[in-house]
Amino acid sequence: MPTAPAVQIKNTAELAQGDIVHTHGGLRVQLDEGTSRALTSRTVYTWTGTVLNRTEVLERGVIPETFMRTRKWLPGSGWTADREDVWTVQGNNFDEWLVENPS
């Protein structure tokens, strides 16, 4: 039986590129790019990441396949699928996430 990876808790402000975040019913998302936006009362963070267990998520019916898809416009072809393994992790410093410890 496989063992679960060791995890730590981080708030959204503590997330970093390369972190593997557990979210939304078992998705394992490796963070690629992050941005932040300062609002009057808080800062909001948004991370785009790659779903590492896409096949498992689809087999279990956790989310529809289209939720992990982005599209882009290609002249002559129109709108085409850009990525099919993307997920967004977002929140502020009050939101906490389970993050795999590096091995």
Provide the residue range defining the domain that includes 79: 7-100
Q: How many CB atoms lie within 10 A of CB 57?
A: 22
Residue range 71-88: mean pLDDT, rounded? 91
Say if 41 falls within a structural domain.
Answer: yes
pLDDT value of residue 2: 61
Say if 74 falls within a structural domain.
Answer: yes
Which amino acid appears at position 36 of this protein? S
Say if 2 falls within a structural domain.
Answer: no
- Phi and psi angles of residue 54, each rounded to the nearest 5 degrees, phi first: -55, -50
pTM of the predicted protein model: 0.86
- Name the nearest CA neighbour of 29 among 102, 88, 83: 88
- 59-68 pLDDT, tens digit per residue, is 999 899 999 9
In the structure, what pLDDT confidence band is assigned to residue 101 with cuts at 50, 70 and 90? Answer: confident
pLDDT at 36 over 90: yes
CATH code, 58 = 2.30.30.30
Say if 1 falls within a structural domain.
Answer: no
Residue range 30-45: mean pLDDT, rounded? 94
